[in-house]
Structure 1
Amino acid sequence: MQISVTEAKGQLTELVRRAEAGDEVILTRHGHPAVRLVPVKPVVDAKSRKALLDAVRASAAAKATAGPSAARSQDFLYGDDGLPG
């Protein structure tokens, strides 16, 4: 759809809605195309966000090292009888 800038002033809300819905909206000046209204794409779409999170998780998993169990980490403080040694 092409519409003059002068006409668009009174219809801006509707033109924005149409552009967001995927319609091509071109504003003309003196009969020549001047501006195209297009919707703004999200900075990070859901698919890219998921891929980024998966990459971070994989990186963290690769860096994790097995160590002693935290449940037994202070056993050295106690003797075989269970008393502080």
Structure 2
Amino acid sequence: MHVSVTEAKSQLTELVRRAEAGDEVILTRHGHAAVRLVPVKTGQDRKSRRALLEAVRAAASVKATTGPSAARSQDFLYGADGLPE
């Protein structure tokens, strides 16, 4: 469906509904296609983001190594008396 931008101003709500329903809505300016209205696919994006996040977490847990305790990580800066060296 091709609609001029001028006509679309008065029909925007209906055009959005049609685009959400799967109709291809193209707005034209001076007879030439300018933009296409397409629905946002939130459900699919959410699933793909969730899968990506879980893959990153799994990869990070495999790479994680235990190191020195954070409580003792700065000990090399201080002497036995507790003062900076």
Same-fold status (TM-score > 0.5) = yes
**Which has the larger share of helix?**
2
1:22 matched residue in structure 2:
22
Which has the higher Rg, Structure 1 or Structure 2? Answer: 1
Summarize the Cα distance change of 1:14–1:57 in structure 2 as closer, same or farther, 3 Å threshold: same
Q: TM-score, normalised by structure 1?
A: 0.55
Matches of 1:6 and 1:50, distance apart in 2: 41
Task: State percent identity of aligned pairs.
Answer: 78
1:11 aligns with 2:11: yes
Match of 1:58 in 2: 58
Give the paired residue count. Answer: 64
Cα shift readout 1:16-46 (whole Å, capped 9, x = no counterpart): 111122211011223222221122344x813
Aligned-partner Cα distance in 2 for 1:29–1:60: 50
Deviation at 1:2, TM superposition (A): 0.8
